[in-house]
Structure 1
Amino acid sequence: MEHAHHNHEMAAVAAAAANQNSMNQDHNNHDMSGMDMHMAMFYHFGSIETILFSWWSTKSAGGIILSSFILVLICFMYEGIKWARVCWKKRAYEESVALGEHNAVPIQRKLTPAMIGDTALHALQLIFGYSLMLVFMTFNIWLCAAVVFGEAIAHLVFRFMYPDLERFRGFGGGQEETCCG
């Protein structure tokens, strides 16, 4: 019985395995179309970060400090939008009370400029909220601290400046809105 053909099959299997191993190594070494896949998935201190956009990157402690101040300003804009929406709801409620619309008259559904404005502000609020969440997900301690500090201070400032709006924060839905909506 001739067994010489078995060596050719074993060589083909070994070559296929080597080719597969080579392809796996090439797949693991490429950078997914220019994306840097070395993002830390743990809390860390550092000064080299990319924040939200490829052009917003830091390479020094000064860059992290400047970015932290910018993030605090974004937190103030986010909180400002939330409180502006509450102010609009309060004003609309007070106008409807003044017009006597809260009697036994059924509510008619109509699209108003105020509703469109509130929807636009809500969309902007979502963009800021999710962007701040993504910054937090860099797991950089300094950036996370900037987001938490910025949100806490901005919330305190707006709550102090507009104490009469506090009871209207959950107006309409019965609950306070979360960070992202």
Structure 2
Amino acid sequence: MTAKATFGGGCFWCIEAALEPLDGVESVTSGYAGGDTENPTYRAVCSGNTGHAEVVQLEYEPETISYEELLEVFFTIHDPTQLNRQGPDVGSQYRSIVLAHDDEQLELAQSFVEALAESGGYDDDVVTEIERLETFYRAEEPHQDYFKKNPNDAYCSMHAQPKIEKVKKTFREKLAV
């Protein structure tokens, strides 16, 4: 039985590409969530006026990879101390956010972020938002599997590729064969 998890931490192209190789991750879909505009478009979300974040929604096998393991990978591939930005991407649509699908995910995410904040591993405060997922909107087709479709894109080379390499190096034992 598959479960779903939804995370945002900068450009969805980069997060999608870094999480796809994990064993137990069945699919990763880029989209928008956390805002108040119905059926947002990429252009509208990029304006910063919809309240939505660029996010990815994973379908995964909890027997193979746990929600806690997904949180660990997610928090390794982005900086949870950057408010409304990740690297060169600036705006509330690039905020660090975990959107829980149920009470268990909500509690696990809150505990994970509290432990992360208390660990002393960051110079700045962890600013990741944690809330219940209301509605997930799938992004337009050109944004799905963007890195796979555009491996030579300069943005992807500079920002997605390092995240992918970090996952391959740090979570080698969690990669699909």
**TM bucket by the smaller chain?**
under 0.3
**When the two structures are superposed, what TM-score results if normalisation uses the length of structure 2?**
0.24
**Which structure has more strand as a fraction of its residues?**
2
**When the two structures are superposed, what TM-score results if normalisation uses the length of structure 1?**
0.24
**Which structure has more helix as a fraction of its residues?**
1
Q: Say which one has the larger Rg.
A: 1
